[in-house]
Homo-oligomer: A and B are copies of this chain.
Amino acid sequence: MLDIKVEMTKTPKELPSADNPLKFGTIFTDHMFIMNYEEGKGWINPRVVPYQPISLEPSAMVFHYGQEMFEGLKAYKTEDGRTLLFRPNKNAERTNRTNRRICIPEIPIEDFVQAVKTVVKIDEAWIPTKPGTSLYIRPFIIATDPFLGVRPSHSYMFMIILSPVGPYYPEGLNPVKIWIEDEYVRAVKGGIGEAKTGGNYVASLRSQVKAHDEGYSQVMWLDGVDRKYIEEVGAMNIFFKINGTLITPLLTGSILPGVTRDSVIQVCKEWGLAVEERRISIDEIYEAYQNGTLEEVFGTGTAAVISPVGGLRWGDQIMQVQDGGIGPVSQKLYDTLTGIQLGRIEDTHNWTVEV
C-alpha cells in the first residue's frame, strides 16, 4: 500500500466546455501522479502534484537510449455517477512485462492500480459524461540517469497523467480504411514488439505518414521474417471473421498483447463464436476476400474499443469489407464492451473496478 502524498493545485484550470468536442490527448487535468525509483531504495516518494512541466538533465538516458514505457486505459462515468476503470490490473501486468523486457524495475500491481485510482479520484470532475467520452489515463516510466553510456538506468520516474477525450470517431462507430505495409517493419520476433515502449511507435511513423498521404487512416503490419503474416494495426490488434470463424494473430512476441483483444476473445467465445489465435497470412486474407468468405475485419484497442475496417489496401489490390460498413459482430462487440465499461451491462467478468 503506497503512502501517497497529495499536493493540490492552487490554480485549478477551467474544465473543458461540454459543448466543444474533445480531441484526443491534447488537454490535461489539474494533477498528476509521480513516483521515483532509485537504485538501492526502490520506488519511493509516491505523490500527486499539480500538473506541471518536468525538469531533466539533457543527458537523461530517456532522451538518448529510449528506455521508456507507457500504458493506456480509461475511466468512465456511469449514469448513476460512479467512476469505473476497465481491467486496470491487466495494464499493471503488462507494465511489468514491458519492464522486464527493457530492464525497468517492476511495480507491484496493487501499487500501480492504487496510483491510478488515487489520481483519477482527485481529478474525477474532469471525467466527461457525453456519450463516447472518457478520461484517458496515461501511466508512463522514463529513465532519468544523467549518463551517456549504454546500460539500464539506475533511476526512473513513473508518472500518470490524465486527459479527457472525446469519442475516437466523432460520428460514432465509423469504419476505417487500412494500408497494408509491405516495405517497412514494425517489430520482429526476439525484438521489443510485445513491449509497450516508444521504439515500436517511432518505427511506425514513416509508414503512417505514407498511408495518410494515400488516404488511409491506419497501417497493418506484416511480420519481419516471412513478410506475410499479419501482426497488428497501428495502435490496435486486428481480428478477421472468415467463414464464421474469428481469427486473430497469435501473440508470438512481436505483437502487443492488447487488453481489449483479450476481452474480445473471451466475450466471443462466450457467445459461442469459433475463435482462433493463430498465424494468418495476407494471402489467406486475400483468398478469403476473393471467394467471398471475408465477412468482417475489425481492430481492438483502448482508444477506439472496436474499430470496424471497411477496406484494406495491399499493393494494387483493394479489398472492401462489409461493403465498407460496420459488421454485426463489430457492432455487437462495441455495444457490449462500452456497455460494460459504462456500467450499463452487467459485468459478469468483474472487469470494471470502481474508483
Contact = CB atoms under 8 A, between A and B. Distances in A.
A198 interface: yes
Contacts of A67: 198, 201-202, 205
Contact of A225 (B24, B183, B224): B224
A151 interface: yes
Contacts of A209: 103, 151-152
Nearest to A303: B149
Interface in A206-249: 206, 208-209, 224-225, 227, 234-235
B225 A59 contact: no
Interface stretch (A117-125, A140-148, A290-298): A140-148
Nearest to A161: B58
B190 A183 contact: yes
A contact face: mostly helix, strand, loop, or mixed = loop
A271 to B, nearest CB: 31
A18 interface: no
A203 B191 contact: yes
A55 B54 CA distance: 5
A59 B200 CA distance: 18
A273 B51 CA distance: 61
A147 B24 CA distance: 8
19 contacts: A24-B148, A53-B57, A62-B62, A63-B140, A65-B202, A67-B198, A68-B198, A103-B209, A148-B163, A150-B201, A152-B209, A185-B191, A187-B188, A188-B188, A189-B224, A191-B224, A192-B202, A192-B203, A225-B225
A65 B62 CA distance: 11
A177 B24 CA distance: 49
A324 B322 CA distance: 65
A205 B103 contact: yes
Contacts of A65: 198, 201-202, 205
A136 interface: yes
Contacts of A198: 62-68, 198-199, 202
A56 interface: yes
A159 B64 CA distance: 11
A197 interface: yes
A206 B102 contact: yes
A86 interface: no
Contact of A235 (B26, B150, B188, B204): B150
10 nearest CB pairs, A to B: A66-B198, A199-B199, A25-B148, A185-B190, A65-B201, A188-B188, A66-B202, A188-B224, A103-B205, A53-B55
